[in-house]
Structure 1
Amino acid sequence: MTVQTRGRGSMRGVSLWFVATGSVFVTLGMLGGIAMAVSSDHTLAPAHAHLNLVGWVTMALFGIYYHLVPAAADTRLARVHYTIATAGVLAMVPGIILAALERDELLVAVGSLLTLGSMLIFVFTVFRHRA
Protein backbone atom coordinates (compact mmCIF):
# COMPACT_ATOMS: atom_id res chain seq x y z
CA MET A 1 0.00 0.00 0.00
CA THR A 2 1.36 3.38 -0.94
CA VAL A 3 0.30 6.04 1.50
CA GLN A 4 0.13 9.47 -0.03
CA THR A 5 -1.04 12.50 1.83
CA ARG A 6 -2.54 15.50 0.18
CA GLY A 7 -1.91 19.06 1.22
CA ARG A 8 -3.15 20.26 4.58
CA GLY A 9 -6.88 20.88 4.61
CA SER A 10 -7.45 19.30 1.20
CA MET A 11 -9.75 16.42 2.13
CA ARG A 12 -12.29 16.05 -0.64
CA GLY A 13 -14.36 13.54 -2.54
CA VAL A 14 -15.34 10.28 -0.88
CA SER A 15 -12.97 10.98 2.03
CA LEU A 16 -14.82 14.17 2.85
CA TRP A 17 -18.20 12.52 2.33
CA PHE A 18 -17.41 9.86 4.92
CA VAL A 19 -16.03 12.31 7.50
CA ALA A 20 -18.77 14.90 6.97
CA THR A 21 -21.55 12.31 7.18
CA GLY A 22 -19.95 10.78 10.26
CA SER A 23 -19.83 14.25 11.82
CA VAL A 24 -23.57 14.64 11.30
CA PHE A 25 -24.19 11.18 12.76
CA VAL A 26 -22.12 11.86 15.90
CA THR A 27 -23.89 15.17 16.43
CA LEU A 28 -27.22 13.35 16.31
CA GLY A 29 -25.79 10.70 18.63
CA MET A 30 -24.71 13.37 21.12
CA LEU A 31 -28.14 14.97 21.04
CA GLY A 32 -29.72 11.57 21.67
CA GLY A 33 -27.33 10.96 24.56
CA ILE A 34 -28.18 14.32 26.09
CA ALA A 35 -31.90 13.59 25.70
CA MET A 36 -31.46 10.25 27.47
CA ALA A 37 -29.49 11.87 30.28
CA VAL A 38 -32.06 14.61 30.77
CA SER A 39 -34.99 12.20 30.76
CA SER A 40 -33.20 9.43 32.71
CA ASP A 41 -34.67 7.03 30.14
CA HIS A 42 -31.93 4.94 28.57
CA THR A 43 -34.18 2.60 26.58
CA LEU A 44 -32.60 3.76 23.34
CA ALA A 45 -28.98 3.44 24.53
CA PRO A 46 -28.22 0.71 21.94
CA ALA A 47 -29.29 3.05 19.12
CA HIS A 48 -27.17 5.84 20.62
CA ALA A 49 -24.16 3.53 20.87
CA HIS A 50 -24.49 2.26 17.30
CA LEU A 51 -25.01 5.75 15.91
CA ASN A 52 -21.80 6.90 17.58
CA LEU A 53 -19.75 3.78 16.87
CA VAL A 54 -20.88 2.83 13.37
CA GLY A 55 -22.10 6.26 12.33
CA TRP A 56 -19.12 8.23 13.60
CA VAL A 57 -16.09 6.09 14.35
CA THR A 58 -16.42 3.68 11.44
CA MET A 59 -17.38 6.35 8.91
CA ALA A 60 -14.54 8.62 10.04
CA LEU A 61 -12.02 5.77 9.83
CA PHE A 62 -13.23 4.97 6.32
CA GLY A 63 -12.78 8.64 5.39
CA ILE A 64 -9.28 8.81 6.86
CA TYR A 65 -8.28 5.63 5.01
CA TYR A 66 -9.56 6.99 1.71
CA HIS A 67 -7.75 10.27 2.33
CA LEU A 68 -4.49 8.43 2.97
CA VAL A 69 -4.92 6.05 0.02
CA PRO A 70 -6.15 8.24 -2.85
CA ALA A 71 -5.93 5.36 -5.35
CA ALA A 72 -8.65 3.58 -3.35
CA ALA A 73 -10.71 6.76 -3.06
CA ASP A 74 -10.69 7.37 -6.80
CA THR A 75 -12.73 4.28 -7.62
CA ARG A 76 -16.38 3.64 -8.31
CA LEU A 77 -16.28 1.05 -5.52
CA ALA A 78 -15.41 3.78 -2.98
CA ARG A 79 -18.55 5.69 -3.95
CA VAL A 80 -20.62 2.49 -3.73
CA HIS A 81 -19.01 1.86 -0.34
CA TYR A 82 -20.09 5.30 0.88
CA THR A 83 -23.66 4.73 -0.30
CA ILE A 84 -23.97 1.31 1.33
CA ALA A 85 -22.30 2.45 4.58
CA THR A 86 -24.60 5.46 4.85
CA ALA A 87 -27.69 3.42 4.01
CA GLY A 88 -26.65 0.88 6.64
CA VAL A 89 -26.53 3.49 9.40
CA LEU A 90 -29.74 5.14 8.21
CA ALA A 91 -31.56 1.79 8.36
CA MET A 92 -29.85 0.20 11.36
CA VAL A 93 -30.25 3.00 13.92
CA PRO A 94 -34.00 3.54 13.40
CA GLY A 95 -34.29 -0.26 13.24
CA ILE A 96 -32.64 -0.56 16.66
CA ILE A 97 -35.10 2.01 17.98
CA LEU A 98 -38.04 0.00 16.62
CA ALA A 99 -36.60 -3.23 18.05
CA ALA A 100 -35.98 -1.61 21.46
CA LEU A 101 -39.60 -0.45 21.48
CA GLU A 102 -40.61 -4.03 20.56
CA ARG A 103 -42.29 -2.96 17.34
CA ASP A 104 -40.34 -4.59 14.50
CA GLU A 105 -36.90 -6.03 13.76
CA LEU A 106 -36.87 -6.04 9.95
CA LEU A 107 -35.24 -2.62 9.56
CA VAL A 108 -32.42 -3.44 12.00
CA ALA A 109 -31.79 -6.67 10.08
CA VAL A 110 -31.60 -4.80 6.77
CA GLY A 111 -29.38 -2.12 8.28
CA SER A 112 -27.10 -4.71 9.85
CA LEU A 113 -26.69 -6.55 6.55
CA LEU A 114 -25.93 -3.29 4.74
CA THR A 115 -23.38 -2.42 7.43
CA LEU A 116 -21.78 -5.84 7.12
CA GLY A 117 -21.69 -5.39 3.35
CA SER A 118 -20.00 -2.04 3.84
CA MET A 119 -17.33 -3.62 6.02
CA LEU A 120 -16.75 -6.40 3.50
CA ILE A 121 -16.26 -3.78 0.78
CA PHE A 122 -13.76 -2.05 3.04
CA VAL A 123 -11.84 -5.27 3.73
CA PHE A 124 -11.72 -5.97 -0.02
CA THR A 125 -10.54 -2.41 -0.70
CA VAL A 126 -7.78 -2.56 1.91
CA PHE A 127 -6.41 -5.81 0.50
CA ARG A 128 -6.82 -4.62 -3.08
CA HIS A 129 -4.84 -1.43 -2.46
CA ARG A 130 -2.03 -2.87 -0.38
CA ALA A 131 1.53 -2.23 -1.56
Structure 2
Amino acid sequence: MGKQFLKIAAVYFALSELLSAIIGVSGDYSLSNIQSNIYLLGWTTLGIIGLIYVAFPALSVTILAHIHFWMHNIGLPVLILALIGQNYKVPETEVWIVIGWVLLAGGIMLFMVNVWDRLR
Protein backbone atom coordinates (compact mmCIF):
# COMPACT_ATOMS: atom_id res chain seq x y z
CA MET A 1 0.00 0.00 0.00
CA GLY A 2 2.91 2.36 0.60
CA LYS A 3 3.63 2.67 -3.11
CA GLN A 4 -0.04 3.32 -3.89
CA PHE A 5 -0.13 6.10 -1.30
CA LEU A 6 3.03 7.63 -2.76
CA LYS A 7 1.70 7.42 -6.33
CA ILE A 8 -1.61 9.09 -5.48
CA ALA A 9 0.26 11.69 -3.40
CA ALA A 10 2.23 12.58 -6.54
CA VAL A 11 -1.06 13.03 -8.44
CA TYR A 12 -2.35 15.40 -5.75
CA PHE A 13 0.97 17.28 -5.85
CA ALA A 14 0.62 17.76 -9.61
CA LEU A 15 -3.02 18.88 -9.23
CA SER A 16 -2.03 21.31 -6.50
CA GLU A 17 0.72 22.84 -8.59
CA LEU A 18 -1.52 23.02 -11.66
CA LEU A 19 -4.15 24.86 -9.63
CA SER A 20 -1.42 27.15 -8.26
CA ALA A 21 -0.41 28.04 -11.81
CA ILE A 22 -4.04 28.68 -12.79
CA ILE A 23 -4.50 30.90 -9.74
CA GLY A 24 -1.30 32.79 -10.46
CA VAL A 25 -2.03 33.34 -14.14
CA SER A 26 -5.68 34.27 -13.65
CA GLY A 27 -5.14 36.43 -10.58
CA ASP A 28 -8.24 34.81 -9.03
CA TYR A 29 -7.08 33.90 -5.54
CA SER A 30 -10.50 32.72 -4.38
CA LEU A 31 -9.38 29.12 -4.99
CA SER A 32 -6.28 29.39 -2.79
CA ASN A 33 -7.92 27.57 0.12
CA ILE A 34 -8.82 24.71 -2.21
CA GLN A 35 -5.24 24.52 -3.49
CA SER A 36 -4.04 24.42 0.11
CA ASN A 37 -6.37 21.53 0.94
CA ILE A 38 -5.19 19.55 -2.08
CA TYR A 39 -1.58 20.21 -1.15
CA LEU A 40 -1.88 19.41 2.56
CA LEU A 41 -4.45 16.61 2.53
CA GLY A 42 -3.33 15.06 -0.74
CA TRP A 43 0.38 15.55 -1.35
CA THR A 44 1.72 16.07 2.17
CA THR A 45 -0.53 13.79 4.21
CA LEU A 46 -0.65 10.88 1.78
CA GLY A 47 3.05 11.22 1.02
CA ILE A 48 3.97 10.96 4.70
CA ILE A 49 1.58 8.05 5.20
CA GLY A 50 3.06 6.34 2.15
CA LEU A 51 6.55 6.73 3.57
CA ILE A 52 5.38 5.30 6.90
CA TYR A 53 3.90 2.31 5.10
CA VAL A 54 7.13 1.78 3.14
CA ALA A 55 9.19 2.03 6.34
CA PHE A 56 6.84 -0.30 8.24
CA PRO A 57 5.45 -2.76 5.67
CA ALA A 58 3.43 -4.67 8.28
CA LEU A 59 1.15 -1.64 8.53
CA SER A 60 0.40 -1.59 4.83
CA VAL A 61 -1.00 -5.11 4.49
CA THR A 62 -3.95 -4.61 6.82
CA ILE A 63 -7.55 -4.12 5.80
CA LEU A 64 -7.43 -0.81 7.71
CA ALA A 65 -4.77 0.51 5.31
CA HIS A 66 -6.87 -0.44 2.29
CA ILE A 67 -10.07 1.07 3.69
CA HIS A 68 -8.18 4.22 4.71
CA PHE A 69 -6.78 4.56 1.18
CA TRP A 70 -10.23 4.47 -0.38
CA MET A 71 -11.90 6.66 2.25
CA HIS A 72 -9.22 9.31 1.82
CA ASN A 73 -9.28 9.15 -1.97
CA ILE A 74 -13.05 9.36 -2.16
CA GLY A 75 -13.39 11.94 0.60
CA LEU A 76 -10.78 14.37 -0.70
CA PRO A 77 -12.17 14.74 -4.24
CA VAL A 78 -15.70 15.05 -2.81
CA LEU A 79 -14.49 17.75 -0.44
CA ILE A 80 -12.55 19.60 -3.13
CA LEU A 81 -15.43 19.59 -5.61
CA ALA A 82 -17.86 20.69 -2.89
CA LEU A 83 -15.56 23.53 -1.83
CA ILE A 84 -15.26 24.66 -5.43
CA GLY A 85 -19.06 24.54 -5.68
CA GLN A 86 -19.40 26.56 -2.49
CA ASN A 87 -16.86 29.07 -3.81
CA TYR A 88 -19.02 29.61 -6.88
CA LYS A 89 -22.27 29.73 -4.89
CA VAL A 90 -23.63 26.34 -6.00
CA PRO A 91 -26.57 25.61 -3.69
CA GLU A 92 -26.56 22.78 -1.15
CA THR A 93 -22.84 22.03 -1.20
CA GLU A 94 -22.67 21.92 2.60
CA VAL A 95 -23.80 18.30 2.80
CA TRP A 96 -21.04 17.25 0.38
CA ILE A 97 -18.48 19.19 2.38
CA VAL A 98 -19.56 17.31 5.50
CA ILE A 99 -19.41 13.97 3.66
CA GLY A 100 -15.91 14.74 2.40
CA TRP A 101 -14.66 15.74 5.84
CA VAL A 102 -16.26 12.70 7.51
CA LEU A 103 -14.64 10.34 5.00
CA LEU A 104 -11.26 12.02 5.47
CA ALA A 105 -11.51 12.02 9.26
CA GLY A 106 -12.69 8.41 9.30
CA GLY A 107 -9.80 7.34 7.11
CA ILE A 108 -7.30 9.14 9.31
CA MET A 109 -8.81 7.47 12.38
CA LEU A 110 -8.31 4.09 10.70
CA PHE A 111 -4.69 5.02 10.01
CA MET A 112 -4.22 5.95 13.66
CA VAL A 113 -5.78 2.68 14.86
CA ASN A 114 -3.61 0.75 12.39
CA VAL A 115 -0.43 2.42 13.66
CA TRP A 116 -1.34 1.98 17.32
CA ASP A 117 -2.37 -1.63 16.81
CA ARG A 118 0.54 -2.83 14.66
CA LEU A 119 3.48 -0.80 16.09
CA ARG A 120 3.98 -2.22 19.53
Do the structures match in fold with TM over 0.5? yes
Q: Does 1:126 align with 2:92?
A: no
Query: TM-score w.r.t. structure 2 length?
Result: 0.93
Aligned length: 118
- Superposition RMSD in Å: 1.0
CA drift of 1:69 comes to 1.2
- Stretches of 4+ aligned residues off by more than 4 angstroms: none
Secondary structure of the residue aligned to 2:29 is coil
Q: Rg bigger for which structure?
A: 1
Name the structure where helix makes up a greater proportion of residues: 2
Match of 1:111 in 2: 100
Match of 1:3 in 2: none
Match of 1:29 in 2: 16
- The answer to whether the Cα contact below 8 Å between 2:13 and 2:39 also exists between their aligned partners in 1 is yes
Distance in 1 (alpha carbons) for counterparts of 2:65 and 2:108: 12
Distance in 2 (alpha carbons) for counterparts of 1:26 and 1:105: 26
Distance in 2 (alpha carbons) for counterparts of 1:128 and 1:68: 16
Deviation digits for residues 46-69 of structure 1, max 9, x if unmatched? 111000100111111111111111
Question: Which amino acid in structure 2 is aligned with residue 126 of structure 1?
Answer: V
- The answer to whether the Cα contact below 8 Å between 1:47 and 1:94 also exists between their aligned partners in 2 is no
Query: TM-score w.r.t. structure 1 length?
Result: 0.86
